Chains A and B, each alone.
Chain A
Amino acid sequence: MRRLPVADPGLPDARSATRFLSWLVRRSRMTIVIGIVLSVAWMACQSLVPAMVGRAIDAAAEERGGALLGWGLVLLVAGVVQALTGISRHRFSIYNWLGASFRTVQVTVRQANLLGSSLPRRLETGEVVAIGTADVTHIGGAVDVASRGTGAVLAVSIVTLLLLHTSVPLGLVVLIGVPALMAVVGGLIRPLHRRQQAYREQQGRLTGQAADLVTGLRVLRGVGGEAVMVARYRARSQALRAAGVRTATVESLLEAAQVLLPGTFLVLVTWLGARFAADGRITVGQLVSFYAYAAFLVAPLRQLTESIDKVTRGHVSARRVVKLLGLSRGTPPQSPAERPSGDLTDPDSGVRVVPGLLTAIVTEDPADTARIAERLGGYAAGAELGGIPLGCLPPAGLREHILVAENDARLFSGRLRADLDPDRGGRLDEALEAAAAQDIVDGLPDGLDSVVAERGRSFSGGQQQRLRLVRALVADPEILILVEPTNAVDAHTEARIAERLRAVRSGRTTVVCTSSPLVLGHTDRVLYLERGRVAAAGTHHELLDSEPRYARVVLREEQP
């Protein structure tokens, strides 16, 4: 077994779910074939055990001591071989399962990277996350049962031949009876699965409510209301208990059916076998092995039903993966070889960003800020760089050239340094200083090597904001667009950031969308927008003096 994951997952066949699954199977065909061989050997050993016991008892009944000893030893060997093939089969089974799951994760991540900012628009996040949580497991399971299912088919065939060889009528009873039984039990199981699913969902909601209470504990403490919350939780918990008992009522019927149906069938086989034996048509030993075979067949048949179920689930999951893999972001219509330079402009609003300056954009309506940032970053059509529409530039180069740093940018889990400064370009200290974030790092147990929780949740809102700013400053793009970079930090820190921002970005182009006078006072040029159009431009102080509406927006109406 080679180590997983493979370095290169290869190019998936994403034309259909079936093709994707068979691509996965082909990718690990060697280990799947070995899995099949081991599966058959394992099942064969299992299926031969009853025959061996029967032969041994026959030998005893006929008072042949040597034969008894011989069969006993054969049984021991079969047992040991079964143990060894069993575990080897399991090892290959896990390997195939993980191989397919890992490969699916790898191609999903690569595809998500390829789609980039167009991904959220194309697919619901929940759908893609389902690939990570459930689908990967189902796909692995489907590839794995490819070998186990084949083994089960072969085992059933061997037993069939043995039974028919011993007694045709009795063999037929077993061969028709066992699948019929499986079908009946299977029919009972399906409605139960639905009920169990509903129970699990209800349980999930209760757990969600408990987690909600813990998450909101500090708020709850601030205003009171603990007693109400406990009462509500108790009511839901009791509802879950009642649902659990209701589910158990059906489950208990199924448990009873699983004893009753095979039990009745076994009695039938034994009774028929006993009469045949009494007539001398079969031996006593054969009677015992018939009993054992009828009991044995349940296992491979169950495995077969499980295989069908798993392949179905795997197929459904593969459909979702294929849907993601089938998306393409489309190539830009025209990609000039050279990167254009010049002013970044947005004709719709009249915004013109002069290279090398720190420009501020102040809008009367907050929603306009986001729209303009989208356009200036090339996420929405409209803006131009040196007269060339941003949509015509190659996406990777465009993002490297223009970075939009916004407050819902994701902080990634892992070591803080890896997120802030992945390339170790030597700008980190300067950026930490400029974003007034050194104290955050100093407060961490392991400094920059501390592990950041998912979404940076272990940091307060203001700390997260400063870390995002650090990350953007380290990236050091030619044009940096900062959207409300300091609205969650206190006034003192904001003042410090504002003072240092210009120095750290000197020689490069920076746009800051804000309405904070502390920041605006440190910018080169301010564009004031009303109804989505530039209404005034100048320095902060010039605009304060000349534009009363501007003054009202940035100094708040309560101010004189």
Chain B
Amino acid sequence: MTHALPVAGRSQAWRYARSLFRTHPGMFRATIGLHLLAALAGLAGPWLLGDLVQAVQRSAQVAELNRLATALAGFVLLQAVLIRFAYLASARLGEQVLAELREEFIARVLTLPLGTVESAGTGDLLTRTTRDVDALSRCVRLAVPETLIALLTGGLVVVALVAVSPILAAPLLIGVPITVAGTRWYVRRAPAGYLRQNAAYSEVTDGLAETVEGARTVEALGRQGQRIARTDRDLGRSWRAERYTLFLRTIWWPVIEVSYVLPMVLTLLAGGWLYLRHAVSLGQLTAAVVYVQQLIHPLDRLLSWLDELQVGAASLARLLGVADAPEPSRPAAPLPVGTRIEVRGVRFGYLEGREVLHGVDLTLRPGERLAVVGPSGAGKSTLGRLLAGIHRPTEGSVTVGGVPLGALAPDRLRAEVALVSQEHHVFIGTLRENVAMARPAAPEPDVRTALAAVNALEWSDALPAGLDTPVGDGGHPLTAAQAQQVALARLILADPHTLVLDEATALLDPRAARDLERSLAAVVHGRTVVAIAHRLFSAHDADRVAVVEDGRITELGSHDELVAANGSYAALWRSWQGEAPEKPPDMARARPREDAPF
């Protein structure tokens, strides 16, 4: 049904990583260099401990013990200072990279062709915007530096071990195949397992929220038993997902721990044997055992972040993938001459092979008010979206002043035609920002005039901070009618010559809708208006009425003409007026919806 948004491939991710390094070479060098130095300083501890043991063994002077202890203290201090700056450098780099990535991503999302977004579903994009950005920032903030430090520290410990005694480093090799085999087995299964576990857990919390928020509905319909069964089923699913990841850890953890202890025992035994043969000193033996022990910590850190890194990489691929979505070509178009919008032989379908509009011709007369009526799923909204340039016709053309709408740049297009749908949205921000969206530089009086024109100034001024009151999610709540008035005030500021109103007053209480109709009158004044009508009274006032049935315009004319013609519009009008219809209106037998559900 849907065309998922693309996901970046391996080569694209590498290209991105390389470009990061090229844009911030200094930050990368500083981060790696400082971490390397810090790890080096950390290695001095066991080394000096070995020296200390040697000194004790050959009954050295107290002064020498003091000297060694002082050196040990010095290295601890040095390591602490280096760690501080290394940590800061990697945090700076990480934050910088994250900020760039998410800003580019959002900028790209907002310019995606709406058709692409809708065929992929908003859900996918929303997941990428929220979950993937968060997962990646967790990865960049924690997993990447931890892994880097673990790799550097581990590598240096091995080097130090070899420097102490190459022979004593050999037992490490026995741990390598065990660790690698165990980890490969685990990492192949873990990410999917943890994703499932998290998904199952969110279902539990979502189900609980639903039971609580819908408590009244649960009671009204007597659904208590159903809710309890659903909760227990969700919990059972969560339990199974937890059991699976627990099983993975039950195998992996002991394997890894044995792979840590085995080299340690071997180093101890082989070292002891070599010491007895006088091939190594007691100091070398001590230092080697401590180094092998010290290796456990970075190794453990490295392994524990592996699956997090995988999740991060997958998120990165999904974020970069959006940049891959095809961008519509916009050839430089001539500027429109005049404001006449013409639809010629337009055919359109959201999905291949499922056409919604089958050849529509329509010319809007500048300044007229056209009502579009017809049953659900007949293609009214689709026609409106084509008129507003949101979709491009599969066949035929929609032009304004002789120029195809699709060829206009977005800001230019919105100066020609704008769409208001029943879907209104108040953005997070102040009321002023919400109104002045299309013209952010609009001066205060213009914003107030726009609000006043839609009868919204009175309640706007009554808000706690007036126009500067935060609204939208988490802000001051607006009623549906107020939200729709905000949407209308936006239009007054945007000032397009043609407006498409797609059931703009639906979903409102009819009596509130009536007030809104008055606000609307102020907006439509002096503009060409296409009103996709929901309630018939608005059709009555229009200059012309277009009846859309089955993806075609079947009747077109003034209200009086259509009533006189006695077609399907006339039948519906009579039933609205309270007269018993002579026969059921033809168009009442609506076909199943074929367009997307919005």
Contact = CB atoms under 8 A, between A and B. Distances in A.
Contacts of B219: 113, 116-117, 395, 399
Specify which of A73, A79, A459 lies most central, judged by the most chain B CB atoms within 10 Å of its CB: A79
Given A278-B60, A492-B588, A518 B575 contact: yes
Given A60-B285, A443-B593, A461 B418 contact: no
Contact of B265 (A79, A284, A396, A493): A79
Interface stretch (B9-17, B107-115, B326-334, B357-365): B107-115
B262 interface: yes
Given A217-B114, A226-B110, A270-B49, A439 B425 contact: no
A214 B224 contact: no
21 contacts: A4-B236, A4-B239, A56-B268, A60-B282, A79-B258, A91-B250, A94-B246, A102-B238, A106-B235, A217-B114, A218-B423, A224-B410, A225-B437, A230-B103, A234-B106, A245-B88, A275-B62, A399-B222, A490-B503, A515-B510, A558-B537
A75 B265 contact: yes
Given A132-B208, A223-B418, A223-B487, 14 more contacts: A4-B235, A71-B268, A79-B261, A113-B211, A119-B215, A210-B129, A213-B110, A214-B109, A220-B110, A221-B390, A409-B216, A461-B506, A475-B222, A492-B590
B208 A131 contact: yes
B130 A211 contact: yes
Interface stretch (B74-82, B188-196, B448-456, B460-468): B74-82
Contacts of B424: 219
B221 to A, nearest CB: 6
A521 B575 contact: yes
Given A207-B134, A454-B210, A491 B536 contact: yes
Given A224-B411, A559-B537, A207 B130 contact: yes
Interface stretch (B161-169, B270-278, B303-311, B337-345): B270-278
A72 B76 CA distance: 31
A492 B126 contact: no
Contacts of B204: 105, 132
A166 interface: no
Given A259-B79, A443-B597, A399 B220 contact: yes
A535 interface: no
B320 interface: no
B573 to A, nearest CB: 10
A298 B239 CA distance: 33
B315 to A, nearest CB: 13
Interface string A171-210: 0000000000000000000000000000000010011111
Contact of A216 (B210, B215, B425): B425
A182 to B, nearest CB: 17
Given A224-B410, A264-B76, A210 B133 contact: yes
A530 interface: no
Contacts of B421: 218-219, 222
Contacts of B249: 87, 90
A380 interface: no
A114 to B, nearest CB: 8
A422 B223 CA distance: 8
Contact of B83 (A61, A105, A255, A270): A255
Interface string A517-550: 1100100000000000000000011001000000
B425 A219 contact: yes
A49 B591 CA distance: 77
A498 to B, nearest CB: 9
A555 B510 CA distance: 11
A379 to B, nearest CB: 8
A203 B282 CA distance: 54
Contacts of B83: 252, 255-256, 259
A68 B272 contact: yes
Contact of B437 (A211, A224, A288, A462): A224
A82 B543 CA distance: 85
A257 B276 CA distance: 41
Interface in B557-598: 572, 575-578, 580, 584-585, 587-588, 590-594, 597-598
Nearest to A103: B235
B22 interface: no
A215 B425 contact: yes
B411 A253 contact: no
Contacts of B527: none
A113 B258 CA distance: 50
A483 B494 CA distance: 37
Interface in A486-507: 487-493, 495-496, 499
B49 A110 contact: no
A475 B219 CA distance: 13
A169 interface: no
A147 interface: no
A491 B511 contact: no
B110 A217 contact: yes
Contacts of A11: none
Interface residues of A, number: 167
Across the A-B interface, the 4 shortest Cβ-Cβ residue pairs: A79-B261, A248-B91, A116-B219, A410-B214
B299 interface: no
A471 interface: yes
A59 B141 CA distance: 46
Contacts of B220: 117, 377, 399, 403-405, 409
A133 B588 CA distance: 47
Contacts of B77: 260, 263
Interface string A59-97: 111010100110111011001101110110011001000
A490 B548 CA distance: 13
Contact of B250 (A53, A87, A133, A215): A87
Given A105-B231, A213-B110, A495 B269 contact: no
B3 interface: no
A125 B216 CA distance: 12
Given A132-B209, A213-B109, A413-B210, A56 B272 contact: yes
B208 to A, nearest CB: 4
Interface in B77-128: 77, 79-81, 83-85, 87-88, 91-92, 94-96, 98-99, 102-103, 106-107, 109-111, 114, 117, 122-123, 125-126
B184 to A, nearest CB: 19
Contact of B511 (A225, A366, A403, A555): A366
Contacts of A338: none
B137 interface: yes
B554 interface: no
B263 to A, nearest CB: 10
Contact of B84 (A213, A256, A287, A487): A256
A422 to B, nearest CB: 5
A224 B210 contact: no
B69 A267 contact: yes
Given A56-B268, A98-B239, A217-B114, A119 B487 contact: no
